[in-house]
Each structure stands twice: as structure tokens, then as C-alpha cells.
Amino acid sequence: MGNEWGAVVVAAGRGTRMGTAESKQYLLLRDKPILVHTLETFQSMAEIAEIALVVGKDDIGRCSEWTSRYGLTKVRAIVEGGRERQHSVMRGLAALGTDWAMVHDGVRPFVRASSIRACCAAAERVGAAVLAVPVKDTIKQVGPDGLIASTPDRRSLWAIQTPQAFRRSLLQEALERAAAEGFLGTDDAMAVERTGAPVAVVEGDYTNIKITTPDDLAWAEFLLNRRDGEGNGA
């Protein structure tokens, strides 16, 4: 990881699975918003030059206040999210000035700095890279009739995480092409894959969870306690 990097942290979603009136990224984890825990990881890394935070229009004010309160000096821009995640990422990328950019979910506060560095180093070699973990369970492909259609070889299946790291121009061009063709992917790498460009997979950690349900919050408290006991994995 020899280049200067920018990070787009996406926190514009308003998921309903948490069952709370407050969006999950703003729920408190040990008296601090989940999003702030996430931002602090990137703030602490010397390789990260700047952060673009993408949030809902109504949340810009409080996020701006938090960046001051928690000393998040690398957050150079707080921008309003778009209709879909893909649009939000494009807005975040436009706010960065670095040649290399990673995209990270605001509700993944436990990514290790060492994993981020490994992902970025792979992207610098290939052009694009994602963090992922091998799938532990047997996966079944099920048809619309509710019957099993096939069982893919588990050894070839990986659960994709973030951050996902790219040469910024590669991701921007891929997202612009996807938008022009009406394609919406479920992650950022899909847009790059469509162009035929290679994307490397870097093994991450199963603790890099995405906090989306009440059960995740309890697990997050445990992980936070454990992390405090062993250091942050930098």
C-alpha cells in the first residue's frame, strides 16, 4: 500500500430490519454512534488522506457536528446520498481528490486496519480488490417453485465485504457506464466486473460484520469488548 488513498464511507441507507425509528448507522454502540466507530478506524490510518461521508440529507447537520466532536479531521466532505447506493458512491467519489479510493459500509465498524491495507495493496497490483471471507455453510440455489435447483461447490464461494478498493478512475468510469446502461449492482465491484477488468479477492475476517439487526448489536458489543482487550488489529 504505497499510494495515498481516499475513502468513501456510505451511510445513507434507512434500513428497516433493525426495528428502530433511528437508522442503524446512528444507533449507539457504547455511547458512540456506530458510524463514528467506523470513521475512527479510517481516521487513524496514515495511508488514508481524506474521507467523503455520504449520508441522508436530514443527517448532514449532526454528522458535521460529530466530525468536530470526535476529531474526525480527515472527513473533508459530507455529501447527500443518491436514490440508490450506486448513486451515493458516485457522489462520494466526486468529492475525493485522490487517485485511489475505497468504498466502505458505515455499519461495518470492526474492519481491521491490517485488512484494509491488504485490500488496498491488492488493488494497487490489479486495479481493483475486495475483502471477503470463505462461505462456511452449504449454499443451495433454489428455484421459484421452492425446490433446490443446484448446489454450488462451497470452495468457490466467498461472502463479499467492504472495503472495496479501486483505482478511482476505473470505478468512476465503470459506475458511469452502469448508470448509462441502467444497471444496478449489489456492490461496487459488480460495475467494474462488467467492464471485464479483473477484481482481486483478499481474505478478511468474519468479525467484519455489517450491523443490520438487533442480534448484530449484541454481537457488536462483544466484539468491541474483545477488540479493546487485544488492540485494534492495526
Tens-place pLDDT, residues 104-161? 999 999 999 999 999 999 999 999 999 999 999 999 999 999 999 999 999 999 999 9
Is 233 part of a structural domain of the chain? no
- What average pLDDT does the segment 62-73 reach? 97
Q: Poorest-confidence range of 43-52, 170-179, 211-220?
A: 211-220
Which pLDDT does position 24 carry in this prediction? 81
Q: Higher confidence at residue 195 or residue 234?
A: 195
Residue showing cell 474521507: 51
Which pLDDT does position 158 carry in this prediction? 97
The answer to whether 70 touches 40, Cβ cutoff 8 Å, is: yes
Could you report how far apart the first and last alpha carbons of the chain are, in Å?
A: 14
Please report the DSSP string for 43-61 in residue order: HT-TTEEEEEEEE-GGGHH
pTM assigned to the model? 0.91
Q: Poorest-confidence range of 9-23, 40-54, 141-155?
A: 9-23
Which pLDDT does position 152 carry in this prediction? 95
Residue 19 has pLDDT above 80, yes or no: no
Residue 22 has pLDDT above 70, yes or no: no
Strand-pairing partners, residue 165, are: 102, 129
Is 187 part of a structural domain of the chain? yes
Is 114 part of a structural domain of the chain? yes
Task: Report how far residue 131's alpha carbon sits from residue 163's, in angstroms, rounded to the nearest whole number.
Answer: 6
DSSP letter, residue 149:
E
Q: Higher confidence at residue 186 or residue 21?
A: 186
Task: Report how far residue 42's alpha carbon sits from residue 22's, in angstroms, rounded to the nearest whole number.
Answer: 24
Is 232 part of a structural domain of the chain? no
Q: Higher confidence at residue 138 or residue 1?
A: 138
Which pLDDT does position 15 carry in this prediction? 55
Which pLDDT does position 17 carry in this prediction? 52
Please report the DSSP string for 66-110 in residue order: HHHHTT-TTEEEEEE--SSHHHHHHHHHHT---SEEEEEETT-TT
Which pLDDT does position 14 carry in this prediction? 66
The answer to whether 5 touches 102, Cβ cutoff 8 Å, is: yes
- The CATH number that applies at residue 193 is 3.90.550.10
Is 32 part of a structural domain of the chain? yes
Domain count, the chain: 1
Which pLDDT does position 30 carry in this prediction? 85
Domain housing 142: 5-227
Is 234 part of a structural domain of the chain? no
The backbone region for 38, taken as left when phi is positive above 0, alpha when psi lies in -120 to 50, beta otherwise, is alpha
Those residues whose C-beta lies under 8 Å from the C-beta of residue 95, and which sit 6 or more positions away, are 8, 52, 76, 77, 79
What is the average pLDDT value for the chain, to the nearest integer?
A: 92
Task: Report how far residue 91's alpha carbon sits from residue 176's, in angstroms, rounded to the nearest whole number.
Answer: 11
Which pLDDT does position 81 carry in this prediction? 95
158: phi then psi, degrees, rounded to nearest 5: -130, 140
Is 97 part of a structural domain of the chain? yes
